[in-house]
Amino acid sequence: MKRHRTAESAEPTESAEPTAPTAPAGPSRRRVLGAAGAAGTAGLALGAAGGALATSAAAEPPTALATVGRRRIAFHGTHQPGITEAAQAHGHLLAFDLVAGAGRKEAAALLRRWSRVAGALMAGEVPPGRLPDTGIALDAGPSALTVTFGFGRTFFDRTGLAAHRPAALEPLPPFSADALDPKRSDGDLWVQIGADDAPVAFHALRALQREAAGTARVRWQMSGFNRSPGATAAPRTARNLMGQIDGTNNPRETDEDFGRRVFVPAGGEPGWMADGSYAVLRRIRMLLDDWERVPLADQEKVIGRRKSDGAPLSAGPDGTETTPVDLAGRTADGELAVAADAHVRVTAPETNGGAAMLRRSFSYHDGFRDDGAPDAGLLFVAWQADPLRGFVPVQRKLDRGDALSRFLRHEASALFAVPGGAEKGGYVGQRLFEG
Ligand SMILES: C=CC1=C(C)c2cc3[nH]c(cc4nc(cc5[nH]c(cc1n2)c(C)c5CCC(=O)O)C(CCC(=O)O)=C4C)c(C)c3C=C
Ligand SMILES: [Fe+2]
């Protein structure tokens, strides 16, 4: 009988193949469940709580996982996971602050524990931990889980590592449209979790939070979502909560300059950030009540693309999402086809001295505000080798005159240094702590 891919059993498919094998050799969650009651394996692996959870399961070999559960992404590698892969259906973004008395040694130990836990979780295994596993993700495969770790500006002072702080972590400049909540901004440490299954994502969140106890405390947490795999007939670019296809003109891994735009080069400063990247996070609330009153043709002018299929307004009726935008294109009346303040014109690399970033965002909905408006929008996450040559110039330009900005409120902001990936047997940030 088929089993899903685990560290012990490989059943590769194109989408399930990790780019590199993961190190932890913990028991597969489904294998543990299937073997419950047999030779006490489950009790050993899960502790008392997990063993109790598993006793009702039949001692049968696990059946094949459905597509969503099978997909496994490697934890170890040149870059951390969660940057270049398509954003998953469920995401959690969390910032932690070190607790009083926790310094460099404690932080390094935490990153070591977090890396072990993340590697196991991403392989679909029961994570090692100081407490018995919660069992939240029992039965499920890896489900494309990724866990990504970053360091905020304040981390370096608190750990005596100020001399190693990247210059790129200078605070972002203020923008006129900012209405930032400091309690939901910044932070010493950042964890980005994504998975195509909601319990798998929450399981990771709890496992990582529990490992932090005594060293770091959650400062803020935001949860988001994207379309579930399989919801469309074929994989499509995501839509945001304004209904637009969003992500079309992202840099592609096949672009000649992709690596240079997104990742810090070897030989870059500081040395420990080689192969790392900088993540800018903005919680951007959408004024959906206002937006939804705007007629379709005007909504399309705001962006510069058709809503139905994402084709640029500079293309004719046969244009598609992938038709290149012609910023000089004119309508029959001689007007610019993509308006002077259209979002795609204002943000295009051509109008920003080549500035580009990889956008990998999650939508969010956190209920309703006192006035009845949805508290909903975009957890905008932008990846770049240098925020001063990616996010900052583009946001400055948006601030000065972008048709979309009047429907948006930037409510939280953070910037994190995300080091390169961990080697097998190593941990994220090792070069910072030990280099
Ligand atoms: C500072 C950078 C950006 C912010 C903030 C931002 C917010 C934001 N964008 C959309 C919707 C769309 N953005 C699109 C394209 C696009 N956006 C940015 C940058 C920021 N967006 C860039 C660099 C680009 C690509 C420009 C290009 O090269 O053509 C699009 C069009 C489709 C696409 O290419 O992705 C949409 C739609 C929202 C809703 C939003 C804040 C909530
Ligand atoms: Fe945008």
* Tens digit of each residue's pLDDT (9 = 90 or more) over 379-426: 999 999 999 999 999 999 999 989 999 999 999 999 999 999 999 999
Query: In which band, very low, low, confident or very high, does the pLDDT at 344 lie, cut at 50, 70 and 90?
Result: very high
Could you report the per-residue pLDDT of 106-158, keeping only the tens digit for each? 999 999 999 999 999 999 999 999 899 999 999 999 999 999 999 999 999 99
Q: Map tokens 């039949």 to a residue.
A: 58
Separation of CA 253 and ligand 2 centre (Å): 19
Q: Map tokens 């996982």 to a residue.
A: 65
Q: Which tokens belong to 53?
A: 């959870």
pTM: 0.90
Q: What letter does residue 292 receive in the DSSP assignment?
A: T
Separation of CA 287 and ligand 1 centre (Å): 16
Q: Ligand nearest 363 Cα, by number?
A: 1
Could you report the per-residue pLDDT of 222-256, keeping only the tens digit for each? 999 999 998 998 889 999 999 999 999 999 999 99
Q: Please give the pLDDT value at position 62.
A: 58
Burial class, 416, CB count within 10 angstroms (exposed 0-12 / middle 13-18 / buried 19+): buried
Q: Which tokens belong to 326?
A: 């012609």
For residue 34, pLDDT beyond 90: no
Q: Which tokens belong to 368?
A: 């309703």
Q: Which atom of ligand 1 is nearest to the CA of 350?
A: 28
Q: Ligand nearest 405 Cα, by number?
A: 1
Q: Pairing between strand 277-286 and 146-151?
A: unpaired
Say whether 386 is catalytic: no
Q: Which of 246, 275, 341, 386 is catalytic?
A: 246
For residue 200, pLDDT beyond 90: yes
DSSP-based three-state secondary structure for 291:
helix
Contact of 376 with 363, CB cutoff 8 Å: yes
Return the residue whose CA atom lies nearest to atom 18 of ligand 1: 347
In DSSP terms, which residues pair with 325 in a beta bridge? Answer: none
Return the residue whose CA atom lies nearest to atom 7 of ligand 1: 380
- By mean pLDDT, which of 1-10, 14-23, 69-78 is the weakest? 1-10
Ligand 1: lining residues by beta carbon, under 6 Å:
240, 242, 244, 246-249, 282, 284, 286, 303, 305, 325, 343-344, 347-349, 377-378, 380, 391, 394-395, 398, 408
Percentage of the chain beyond pLDDT 90 is 82
Residues 6+ apart with CB under 8 A from 131: 47, 210
